[in-house]
Amino acid sequence: MNRLSLKITVVTLLVLFLGGFVTVARSQSNTQNQNNSQSQDDIKSPKFKKKKQKAYDLNQNPLAGVQSKQPDKELYDKAMQAMKKGRYDVARLDLQTLLNTYPESEYRMRAKLSVGDTWFKEGGSAALTQAEAEYEDFQTFFPNAPEAAEAQMKVADIYYQQMEKPDRDYTNAQQAEVQYRKMINMYPDSSLVPHAKQRLRDVQEVLAEREYQIGSYYESREDYVAAIARLETVADTYPLYSKSDQVLIGIGDAYAGEAHNIEIVPRLPAALRERMHTMYLDKAAAAYAKVITRYPMAPHVEDARDRLVAMNRPVPEPTEAAIAESDAEERSRQPLHFTDKTLAIIKHGPTVVEAVHVGDPSLDDPKRTLAPDITNQNKAVFAEAVNQGKPPAPAEAVTPTGPNEPPRSDQPSTAPLQMQAPAGGSGVGVEVVSAPNGSAQPAAGATATDPNALVQPVGPANTALPAADKPVEAPVQQNEIKPGSNPQQTASTENGKAKKPKLDQSEDSSSKKKKKKGLAKLNPF
């Protein structure tokens, strides 16, 4: 029984297998017949055309539409194809061959620019540096070509790709800002200007974010002078910053903090304290009011209104133009989603999603406000508060100088002294001339001057010299030797000549040693 059931099972499986095989074979034959019939119909159809396969894919080639079989064009197309496949060294070799072999080719400008493109797409710090040099060379050789704007744009893109986050090194961001400004100012008619302006807005968003973070940190440490300097730099230089309303509110809070510090200063007169407190609150209110008048559609405009109401200050009303401008700026910004925040942690560069897409970016050099400037402003506030209410100091009366006095610094100097020769005589005469109001007298040996002259000589009335003083008489000399006596001779004579006395040299030192005599020769000392 078991054997019979086993045979029946095996036979059944064989039948099923053979049936399936036959079905598959029939389906394959039917499919092949249908394909053959379709191919015959296509061949017989008049609309059938044989498709030609392109030798190269030149979608990124700006000269792809140019149909030419010239060797320089073929070299250029070959280089573009190699660049598309990532073989940048081969592309550079072909482009250099084109430039060296065909210096008069019509494709030399595109070839020169493409050499920089190979370095730019290769990436890396060394390759990007070489790309910048190639683009600058292109601008030097072809300054008036339309591609010069493209070369300058790519120089700026080199620094844009290397930008760091706002809390990191900002050197590349500064260079990108300079290069985009240069591109817009040098080529204002280029079609790339709108794209350059948007890139410039993105770069300025990163730089403004850096300054705002530093200013917020100083304000949290109650270093209001440094905080105001950083925040005013952002407000003056980057008005399109996405957090400009928070920047102005931070400036107002810093001035309010300085007003609070004035209240707690010890031994300060009450009147002076009140005046300085009011001045700082005025500056804080001006910052809050600017939020309402310049950014009326900003998210934090209500915070500025609340601060003005708490200070009992009037709340200004924005104009319709300001409302329309602020609304356009806020609508052009993209909201920051959770995915953007997550990608900002992973990716290398900064996130510029919130950058504005309307309005002209700042094309001037950044106007920085330094902490010493704020310190000088605080000194001016103190001086103004001290001098407020005091009468102005009277001006000092200026007394004129006399004829023979040195000139004053607050008056013009009088006529200088002049030396004049006398009109006649063999001697040398000098006249001292002073101002017209001085008296004039001729000097010794000089003739009288004209009384109608504009400048009269000045001199003493009495020109006679005083008498010389008589010298004191010498005292009478007295001789102490009595008459009739001979003085003793102190020197002896020999042969009618005076003999000089011998000089006593007993006490003088001498380097000569005296000879020893007798037993003294045995003493070694």
Q: Are strands 431-433 and 419-420 parallel, antiparallel or unpaired?
A: antiparallel
Alpha-carbon distance of 408 to 416, in angstroms, equals 14
Alpha-carbon distance of 362 to 328, in angstroms, equals 18
pLDDT tens track for 175-222: 999 999 999 999 999 999 999 999 999 999 999 999 999 999 999 999
Segment 73-97 mean pLDDT: 92
Res 12: pLDDT: 67
Is the pLDDT at 79 greater than 80? The verdict is yes
**Of 62-66, 165-169, 422-426, 465-469, minimum mean pLDDT range:** 422-426
Res 500: pLDDT: 58
Q: CA torsion sign, 246 to 248 to 249 to 254?
A: positive
Alpha-carbon distance of 92 to 70, in angstroms, equals 19
Alpha-carbon distance of 270 to 260, in angstroms, equals 14
pLDDT tens track for 110-120: 999 999 999 99
Left if phi > 0, otherwise alpha if psi is -120 to 50, otherwise beta: which for 438? beta
Is the pLDDT at 272 greater than 70? The verdict is yes
More confident residue, 515 or 140: 140
Res 401: pLDDT: 59
Res 72: pLDDT: 86
Alpha-carbon distance of 238 to 355, in angstroms, equals 11
Segment 161-173 mean pLDDT: 93
Q: Which DSSP symbol is given to 519?
A: G
Place of tokens 């990532």: 86
Res 260: pLDDT: 94
Place of tokens 């001290």: 386
How high does pLDDT run on average in the chain?
77
pTM beyond cutoff 0.75: no
Q: Which DSSP symbol is given to 51?
A: P
Segment 34-55 mean pLDDT: 45
Segment 241-267 mean pLDDT: 94
Tokens (6 digits) for 208: 């403004």
pLDDT tens track for 128-153: 999 999 999 999 999 988 899 999 99
